[in-house]
Structure 1
């Protein structure tokens, strides 16, 4: 049985979300996230800086995608400069699985960098 694998892209894939991500946008978010995961990136940076709302279903989907990346040897980082928004994602349990950063540049740094959420 032969298997072909797409080569891993060493550059982080940055996906910036803006506006409200709730039930009405959940299918679109799923298509975006799972499309990125299938493209075999090593590192996905999810920029939520301009996201006004991210509901619990979308948060769960982000966590699921982060888990799928980890299983494939990849990682996800989240850019979320708002302390209030970080507290919400912290309460969801996502902070334990995905590191948070203040800027896209910080999140794009090597995966060995220390996220601000853990400093």
Structure 2
């Protein structure tokens, strides 16, 4: 206890209460900022997840279309006697091994993604 606090206890008490109030206000502000940052992070994650879900849906749609076209081509080739499924399977195994990685798919040489040159709408146009 200081000499000033001894002779002016009301002023010392008021000063002490002000420090406590300031500390509580500062702590409340820090907690509010933390909640703000946490909420912003949660919203950003939700937004990012929605974008990824849309991309996955688009990829699934594209994969389904590719599978449909491939199956149609295989049936047409097989029905005309041009080629048999066994011959296609053997060729696919050879192509898979040719890229140096036997993993059941073509392994690209670069990190470039596959970008189709035509859309279904373009393919459906006559001529």
- Give the TM interval when normalised to the shorter protein: under 0.3
- Relative to the length of structure 1, the TM-score reads 0.19
Q: Which has the higher helix share?
A: 2
Choose 1 or 2 for highest CA Rg.
Answer: 2
- Relative to the length of structure 2, the TM-score reads 0.18
Q: Which has the higher strand share?
A: 1
Instruction: Choose between structure 1 and 2 for higher RCO, CA contacts under 8 A separated by at least 6 residues.
Output: 1
